[in-house]
Structure 1
């Protein structure tokens, strides 16, 4: 009976053997990784994490400029580099757990959204791509490790800072990895799945090279640290031998164990090397790795060809590029020899009366041109190696993933071969060590090396937040608008034509933010009524009969126990002055014909405002601000007093006719504010305001919300984040003073834990003013959806879009667009069935009853509380038929619109 031969393999078992063979990292000193390659001295590395640009969406001229910049980047190198690209599976565990932990009336929608995300993950690979540059320090023979470390830190800091400056010239950004980030990167490079599920905690990291102590005892003993060791290993050994000679030791010596070290934290239990793969054993089981190396390259390639391979929809794939600049002396002789060979071949053919081989003639021409560029210093020669490391949980998964990668590589006319019998060297070459163990290098000039430009992609997702949409490559775009470490502010602008899906996008995202944030909507077309009812929000209707808000309300600040009295008084005084200036702006919107009042008219209004507040006993003194504020009727009485022969207030006669212009608006303003913002979602419906009053209503709402946010900052209200959503903001931007107020809101809302979200379908009116451009500049997040051909040019000029991006916006489907926080990326808006049902706009939904001025005070507040608690009568959305899961929105009928 014949038996199959066993597969030859080499088992490297035991933590010590694995560390000695595969784990080069010995310690991390701040931002420097200290490596041991088995030599007498350590080597040091610095690692830069790089943010990418979307190369595919750039204009051809911009692509050429980027490649030229990358050429300059390469020509400036005087030391080898490693570029490491990791395609990681998107971590959804924390996001899904946060959704499932939501309780209350949003629990059902959150569970439906979690199930929808899980279905997305099962149908497509959700990939997150991370890019790194490994920078080495020059190796020295200094045996004093402390001095060598200091020298390496200085050199790496200079090299890293210069590289980051060079990257910024390319439009890229990068930051240097710290201690914890470096260790996490090494752990994921050895065992990716284990690093994802069981990352090294800070407590474990602090325990490395230290004694374990009880939390109930205070240890005064000095812990041992590798960074503080100023003696080399040989000196330490000699010291131990010398001490052994001075004091007699027993004949049988017992080896003293060492402390737990950083290599032991990241080392797998065993590594087994096979001819076709490497099997790495960890806590969760085995991982199989295989390394592919590029061996043949086509004659000509287009710049950025590597993007097509990097963006492959496959997780657990790493790309490692080793770039080593060579001096001209190293390659001149080699190029001269090859030129002689080709020239001899051509001459031999001519002597035989044959035509010269065109390939030899072209190759000779290329070599001569390269030698000339080298002599002038315009070009350099690089030794480059490109490796692809594929991982899998099983051999079948590894084989299937390997075959898909090979097909993608062959489709571009490249050739990559598995590193048979050398996969362990491939594993070492794909670690962030900057060490090319596999070799397989090829010579490239600067022009050809620049086509390897690797920093392509547009992954802007964060570890925490809510889902904004999905990327065409399959990854989720999860963002936390209030993450100050990643985003400058939480402001957002959305530009789209009517029917592109901008309202659907804002409804779904704001609904996902409701568990942690308050959302206040300014709704000019009653599109958020259905969503307000479904989330038990508060509905406020502003009409041409009543604006519901008293613009004279003050910020009633109560001094916290630990607050400084002088600072609190100054804050309240400043607020009162701002209130007066805001009221002047309001009267400009109400009373001016051309959009602005004269300085004399403003001075008269200011005197009247001061007297109106003084009539209630309110002055600049903050102790008076708790008193009952005046109202518009009182202001009208004081402003028109001199005209009626009453000179008690001393404001002078209204020679401008302002009180006559104001009289027709008195019925709009109640004697007291009829809105109590005690709900997480408030919908201000201004649909019934005419065109003249819409800017006034928007101004009152935003100023009222500004007051509430100041209260929250002082600890007087809810400490949740706040999103103020102004739909069709161009309505307010049409008026100069309203635009100025909104621009000031955009500048300062970040300090109060909020974000201003503006949407518009009339981009020309929005971008035609200086204030509109200011709002745009202050918005970290921007979303451009489908554009109309009549307005797309202004959008292209404002955002400096490429022709490819312009065509993308013109051809975009409903819910598609370009989103950016730093770089533009395509994004598609998707929602679960329940979210799509909630975001549907139903014009037939009955509105919640609004209190009229004639209703008694008690009855008013009872109904207001009922609306705030979600017990008021709520309409149901009209039937929309079957909802298709994963689509942008349900198909609208004649009673529905988006």
Structure 2
């Protein structure tokens, strides 16, 4: 029998799918399937005895139909059943036949079930278990059916094909709540509860608008959905060696958080997030590009700025110069810098009076000029600042800030900066992000992503600044994500370990053999988990959060993949073909959440 379903549009009837029903299989479009009903069960089962079916590596649909039996009806049925067993046993004894041990066991089970029902300790249910096996061809289907039947036999389950009822079997196995086979057995509460996969490695995550898909569970057929905003700390760390898929995962996590209404800011050392930002209508600030300037002496112009904004800016300049010069300043030079900062702001007409803060801020060159009037210590600091004032690194600081971050996604691209300025650029970007976050009203979750965080952690003052952000983020509904390919730099310092300790979500991807011992010690990894990280393929990861561990494979839709991939060949195809995929992403949003 062949049935064809048609989708009718402006052009008339267009074939959409073919359904060809045979006695023992059903053809569905390009595939073929066979349905079975479980008719025999083992006398005793353990917890999660159906889990081997749910974790079967092939495409297998298992449907469990449960119908509660009213207590009054259940009591009458059990009494009749016990009466039949008792009558059979008496007839066997009168005729001199040997005892039927199976009947005796069934009678004992019925008595125990009736007693539990009478005491209110359990209930009776009618349960049907239906299975549909899928394959691409008939030959493959025969092989898959053989594997599934062997698995069922190992579980002491007896499954019969739904001969001449394949359509009803296929529909009954779909998640529709429709049972067209009506092949059920009676089970009590204990037996039914043992059918559910409570021993599954899948994470139990409550439904939440901010939960996002991380990937597919490596130990089961389930998905890993995680809500970092429901934990006691919103921070996250991602540690992986180069080529393990760290940035790919971070971009997917960022994109899916945007779906959930989270605004974000990214520190992007290699300009990997620009395509994603442009596709979703975000802002890209390319530090180091011609004509792009960032004045570190700028004051926050928002009306909600704190009364001590000038003091806070001066304190940040101490941190910035320590990163610029590669070491903290000596006490006398710090004092000279502090006096020069106050004098430079005063020379520009800016004081502690809030009304003066909208005046143009002094530049780094103005600060250097004032430093030269602060004695020998000031002149030494000014001399060390010369590369940033008049030398090869002056472009970034040569003029007032050209653009300010705004929008639901701001990406700070540092690719145009020389390597010597990457740590400085990261610190400046984080400072601007944090000022924006601290001054805004916390009416929705916000995410700050620092890719290649090792560049900032190498500098002591930069590591301290990042640690302060990690500690203060939660109070402002901010989740800080630090991703790095050098686990040694993060775990080798006290501040780096503190940043990891303040992250409730920890993602580990493939690790180098030289770093695995350090990673295993820091995260308490078992031998199996260490081997998994040493041999993991790109995109395979281990999620750690407290005592919860789950290995997963990162997955992306086609539209997402084309936005987050860094494969040169794929990028070349995109450049010659379709371009940004904002429309596709909007269409897929409902499917991914």
TM-score scaled by length of structure 1: 0.44
Indicate yes or no: 2:362 matched with 1:662. Answer: no
Equivalence for 1:647:
none
Considering only CA atoms, is the larger Rg found in Structure 1 or Structure 2?
1
Indicate yes or no: 2:450 matched with 1:726. Answer: yes
Equivalence for 2:245:
501
Equivalence for 1:838:
563
- Structure 1 residue 604: Cα displacement: 1.8
Equivalence for 2:554:
829
- Structure 1 residue 531: Cα displacement: 2.4
8 Å contact kept, 1:526–1:843: no
- Structure 1 residue 768: Cα displacement: 0.8
Instruction: Give me the whole-angstrom Cα distance separating, in 2, the residues matched to 1:628 and 1:767.
Output: 42
- Structure 1 residue 672: Cα displacement: 1.9
- Structure 1 residue 316: Cα displacement: 5.9
- Structure 1 residue 406: Cα displacement: 9.1
Instruction: Give me the whole-angstrom Cα distance separating, in 1, the residues matched to 2:310 and 2:378.
Output: 27
- Structure 1 residue 843: Cα displacement: 6.6
8 Å contact kept, 1:815–1:828: yes
Instruction: Give me the whole-angstrom Cα distance separating, in 1, the residues matched to 2:124 and 2:244.
Output: 40
- Structure 1 residue 458: Cα displacement: 3.8
Instruction: Give me the whole-angstrom Cα distance separating, in 1, the residues matched to 2:64 and 2:522.
Output: 38
Instruction: Give me the whole-angstrom Cα distance separating, in 2, the residues matched to 1:624 and 1:291.
Output: 84
Instruction: Give me the whole-angstrom Cα distance separating, in 2, the residues matched to 1:505 and 1:406.
Output: 38
- Structure 1 residue 832: Cα displacement: 1.2
Instruction: Give me the whole-angstrom Cα distance separating, in 1, the residues matched to 2:555 and 2:426.
Output: 30
Secondary structure (helix, strand or coil) at the match of 2:345 reads helix
Question: Cα 1:398–1:830, aligned 2, differ >3 Å: closer, same or farther?
Answer: closer
Equivalence for 1:639:
371
Spell out, residue by residue over 1:743-762, the C-alpha distance to the aligned partner (whole angstroms, 9 max, x if none). 11111122222221121111
Equivalence for 1:612:
344
Aligned pairs for 1:267-278 (under 5 A) are none
Secondary structure (helix, strand or coil) at the match of 1:782 reads strand
- Structure 1 residue 730: Cα displacement: 0.4
Equivalence for 2:96:
none
Instruction: Give me the whole-angstrom Cα distance separating, in 1, the residues matched to 2:148 and 2:45.
Output: 16
Equivalence for 1:577:
311
Indicate yes or no: 2:437 matched with 1:709. Answer: yes
Aligned pairs for 1:442-453 (under 5 A) are none
Q: Tell me the C-alpha RMSD between the 2 structures.
A: 4.4
Secondary structure (helix, strand or coil) at the match of 2:278 reads helix
Instruction: Give me the whole-angstrom Cα distance separating, in 2, the residues matched to 1:753 and 1:296.
Output: 47
- Structure 1 residue 825: Cα displacement: 0.4
Instruction: Give me the whole-angstrom Cα distance separating, in 1, the residues matched to 2:516 and 2:122.
Output: 41
Secondary structure (helix, strand or coil) at the match of 2:307 reads helix
Secondary structure (helix, strand or coil) at the match of 2:297 reads coil
8 Å contact kept, 1:547–1:697: no
1:535 to 260, 271, 280: 280
1:743 to 467, 490, 498: 467
- Structure 1 residue 805: Cα displacement: 0.7
Question: Cα 1:806–1:508, aligned 2, differ >3 Å: closer, same or farther?
Answer: same
Instruction: Give me the whole-angstrom Cα distance separating, in 2, the residues matched to 1:388 and 1:631.
Output: 80
Question: Cα 1:713–1:844, aligned 2, differ >3 Å: closer, same or farther?
Answer: farther
Equivalence for 1:475:
222
Instruction: Give me the whole-angstrom Cα distance separating, in 2, the residues matched to 1:290 and 1:428.
Output: 19
Equivalence for 1:188:
none
Instruction: Give me the whole-angstrom Cα distance separating, in 1, the residues matched to 2:243 and 2:388.
Output: 35
Question: Cα 1:674–1:415, aligned 2, differ >3 Å: closer, same or farther?
Answer: same
- Structure 1 residue 788: Cα displacement: 2.2
Aligned pairs for 1:69-80 (under 5 A) are none
Aligned pairs for 1:563-574 (under 5 A) are 572-574=306-308
Indicate yes or no: 2:242 matched with 1:519. Answer: no
Give the length in aligned residue pairs.
444
Instruction: Give me the whole-angstrom Cα distance separating, in 2, the residues matched to 1:844 and 1:680.
Output: 30
8 Å contact kept, 1:547–1:669: no
Question: Cα 1:711–1:746, aligned 2, differ >3 Å: closer, same or farther?
Answer: same
Spell out, residue by residue over 1:621-653, the C-alpha distance to the aligned partner (whole angstroms, 9 max, x if none). 54544444332222122211245xxxxxxxxx5
Equivalence for 1:586:
320
Equivalence for 1:411:
154
Indicate yes or no: 2:212 matched with 1:466. Answer: yes
Question: Cα 1:428–1:529, aligned 2, differ >3 Å: closer, same or farther?
Answer: closer
Question: Cα 1:787–1:492, aligned 2, differ >3 Å: closer, same or farther?
Answer: same
TM-score scaled by length of structure 2: 0.64
Unaligned 5+ segments in structure 1 are 1-122, 124-287, 298-302, 320-384, 437-452, 560-570, 644-652, 847-874, 882-898
1:674 to 376, 398, 402: 402
8 Å contact kept, 2:336–2:374: no
Question: Cα 1:602–1:291, aligned 2, differ >3 Å: closer, same or farther?
Answer: farther
Question: Cα 1:597–1:296, aligned 2, differ >3 Å: closer, same or farther?
Answer: closer
Question: Cα 1:468–1:576, aligned 2, differ >3 Å: closer, same or farther?
Answer: farther
Instruction: Give me the whole-angstrom Cα distance separating, in 2, the residues matched to 1:639 and 1:390.
Output: 86
Instruction: Give me the whole-angstrom Cα distance separating, in 2, the residues matched to 1:524 and 1:808.
Output: 29
Instruction: Give me the whole-angstrom Cα distance separating, in 2, the residues matched to 1:791 and 1:581.
Output: 36
Question: Cα 1:296–1:637, aligned 2, differ >3 Å: closer, same or farther?
Answer: closer
Question: Cα 1:294–1:701, aligned 2, differ >3 Å: closer, same or farther?
Answer: farther
Spell out, residue by residue over 1:444-473, the C-alpha distance to the aligned partner (whole angstroms, 9 max, x if none). xxxxxxxxx965624144413322212131
Secondary structure (helix, strand or coil) at the match of 1:526 reads coil
Instruction: Give me the whole-angstrom Cα distance separating, in 1, the residues matched to 2:328 and 2:567.
Output: 38
2:44 to 295, 298, 318: 295
Aligned pairs for 1:193-342 (under 5 A) are 294-295=43-44
8 Å contact kept, 1:698–1:732: yes
Question: Cα 1:657–1:759, aligned 2, differ >3 Å: closer, same or farther?
Answer: same
Instruction: Give me the whole-angstrom Cα distance separating, in 1, the residues matched to 2:188 and 2:39.
Output: 8
